[in-house]
Structure 1
Amino acid sequence: MSQMIVVPGLEITPARLVQSSLPDMDYGAWNKDTAYKVGDRVTIDRINYESVAAHTNRNPVTDTVSPAAWFVVGWVNKYRMFNKQIGNTWAIGTFTSNPESIDLTIRPGKRVNSLGLVGVVASSVRVVVTVPGSPAPIYDKTFAMTKKKGVGWYQFFFGKFARRDNLAVLDLPPAGNADVRLIVSAPGRTAQIGMLILGWSVVIGTAVYDTTLGRKNYTTVKEEFDGSITMTKHGKRRLVNYQIVMIGDEVSSALQTLDELSDTAALYVGSSELDYTIIAGTYEDLSVGLPTYGMGTQNLSVRSLN
């Protein structure tokens, strides 16, 4: 058993992302004088667009002529770890990636004490917190994202590595003027972050052992007349059904916290030691039993958004 923690996400704007090793744009800027062909792509205000018709001087953002000349591809690589939503649509299966490493610094502009990463491909994640006027970091920890499977000398020298996909850092020093630097290292590979959430953690009870895990696969399978099948790969989403025990006076505060998160992304942590109980998403089902003898039970179903 461990504390059940929720971290509402802080919006990461260009003003808050003060440093990044990733380029601002994935493609060139749109130009009204360029003759675009089908398949051409441009970047406008951190969003990528693809041309679906040959044309000139049709702005992807303001053009209303039908049929459309552009469709939205999604956020640029630099911001894909922070944003999944365009309008009412949340894109799953998207992530920020870069060869070898991702290095960025966020200036929240307010107090935060928690950081969460999901969908990580890396050997290690280093988190460094600094404040103006201090010659040394006030926080500097490196978290290993891989370890050897099994025990014994044979496994140590020849065994495969087990990969940790998710990370919750819940002990950041809550300085109001701090910069939070993140270095995701993947030597010889491509570093990847599915989603990053930074904010202030809230305890909503105690997660217990009846918590269950699930996964929804959206790949479609079509069976042909001769028995062959055609599989079209799509995304998949994780689902965690948390079983939570609360004392009586935690119920109202837990409901107030969750009510504000019904249609937005947050970090949910059943146990920071068990990475499969860490998920960035939105809750889709909540049921609370009335407290009996001062204790109540809660079932919280959270679906991933990365």
Structure 2
Amino acid sequence: MEFKIACWNIRGICHVDKQDELKKFIKDENISVCAILESYLKHGNIDQSCNNVFGRWNWISDVNVSSNSCRIIVGWDSNKVNVMVYHMDRQVIFCLIETVDKCSKFYCSFIYASNSGLQRQNLWKELQNQAIISSHCPWVLMGDFNVTRYSSEHSSGCSFANDDMADFNKCIDAIEVDDMGSSGFHFTWTKSLKNPLCGTLKKLDRIMSNEGFLKVYPQASGIFLPYLVSDHSPTILSIPNGLPKKKKAFSFMNHIAYKDDFLQTVATIWDTNVNGHKMYQVVTKLKLLKRELNKLNWSNGNVSKI
């Protein structure tokens, strides 16, 4: 099954309409892990809002390390994945994500960078520490970096890279990551969501990974969706076959009973010696019979041919 991780700067999920939009987004896109950025939630209302959005999911936030209000929240479906937090501050939550069947395991940094270039210096230093921890292991970075890499990432364009852009690219080179292949919106932020004529757009949200991640998950890709209720595009990382495939429920086809081998197949399984209580014997034989009836169903090529 496809494994999806989402990251979205939705700005203020204390409002019920945005909570409803998030719940719909998680359900419609079949998300297993979702990071919410710029939540504006405080100690008094974070539990109610997160429980409303995530339901039975587990979740954590950086409310205890943010000065004014919660900046980053990460929720996950514990039936599918386990999340272990290694580091948390007001600009990044660094964690290990592992599917419950242990088929997929990688480090992930959910980022909401500061608007201040000076404060972002602390983030660049922290990412270098995380690069050391995740060295030779799959590592992906997602979120709002609040700075662009190239002049082409400004709708108005610019003739040169400023100091903030240079610092960002210097960090990227140091931690040896790069943008992952993606589709959807190029400009992930609009200055005015309510003004359709607004021409100020930038690429602030990204999905980046190291070489180790690309080697383990070569088919992984990102998508940047329309803005919806936020001035930022929802970001999704998709990993094909990242979750175990669900087994289809057994269905008894009536035509099987008319096949020549049906009675003999049932008799053979029912004559199998099974030790244990009577009910255990019945359940075990039924499980064995399911496999044989499935084979019988597909025998002779055409399932409807008797």
More helix per residue: 2
TM range (shorter): under 0.3
Tell which structure's C-alpha radius of gyration is larger.
Answer: 2
Give TM-score scaled by structure 2 length: 0.26
More strand per residue: 1
